Amino acid sequence: MSIEHVRHYLQAFGAADRVLEFDVSSATVELAAAALSCEPGRIAKTLSFMAGGQPMLIVFAGDARVDNGKFKARFSAKPRMMTAEELDACTGLRFGGVCPFGIPEAVPVYLDESLRRFDPVYPACGSSNSAIRISLEELERFSRAAGWVDVAKLPTNSPS
CB atoms within 10 A of CB 15: 20
CB neighbour burial string for 106-117, b if at least 16 within 10 angstroms, e if fewer: ebbbbbbbbbeb
Pairing of strands 65-66, 43-51: unpaired
CB 15 within 8 A of CB 132: yes
End-to-end CA distance of the chain: 35
Q: Confidence band (pLDDT; 50, 70, 90) for 160?
A: low
> What is the identity of the amino acid at 102?
G
- What confidence tens digit (pLDDT) does each residue in 11-22 have? 999 999 999 999
- What confidence tens digit (pLDDT) does each residue in 112-148 have? 999 999 999 999 999 999 999 999 999 999 999 999 9
In whole angstroms, give the CA distance from residue 107 to residue 124. 17
Among residues 30, 23, 100, the alpha carbon closest in space to that of 58 is found at 100
Number of residues in the chain: 160
